[in-house]
């Protein structure tokens, strides 16, 4: 049974920012790269646990997408009971680790 992939508001904002940053409307290559990113995210419906557990939390997983220097981390949580993948955040791989100090666990 496939999982439902849902993007959190934060992940949607991340996608919009990436789209604007790479100027996907002006370049066919950038547009194709962005579509490949989206395809990678939605492939989690079939293989939700293929991503590695994150260093920030054992409850989160991440996929790496792209090649250096343009590698992005797709950070998500899997709810096996509900057959749901919640994509929480998409961030550039060069950024510092997520901070969970003072915040409830994702």
In a domain, 82, yes or no: yes
- Cβ atoms 10, 88 nearer than 8 A: yes
Mean pLDDT of 22-33: 91
Q: What is the pLDDT of residues 39-93, one digit of tens each?
A: 999 999 999 999 999 998 999 999 999 888 889 999 999 999 999 999 999 998 7
pLDDT band at 8 (very low <50, low <70, confident <90, very high): very high
CATH code, domain carrying 8: 3.30.2310.20
Prediction pTM value? 0.84
How many domains, the chain? 1
In a domain, 103, yes or no: no
Taking alpha carbons only, the member of 79, 93, 102 closest to residue 4 is 79
């Amino acid at each position: 049974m496939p999982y439902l992939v849902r993007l959190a508001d934060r992940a949607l904002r991340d996608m919009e920012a990436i789209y604007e940053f790479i100027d996907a409307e002006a370049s066919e290559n950038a547009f194709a790269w962005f579509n490949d990113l989206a395809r990678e995210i939605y492939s989690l419906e079939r293989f939700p646990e293929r991503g590695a557990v994150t260093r920030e939390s054992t409850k989160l997983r991440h996929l790496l997408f792209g090649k250096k220097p343009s590698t992005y981390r797709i950070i998500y949580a899997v709810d096996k009971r509900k057959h749901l993948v919640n994509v929480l955040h998409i961030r550039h791989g060069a950024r510092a680790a997520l901070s969970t100090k003072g915040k409830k666990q994702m």
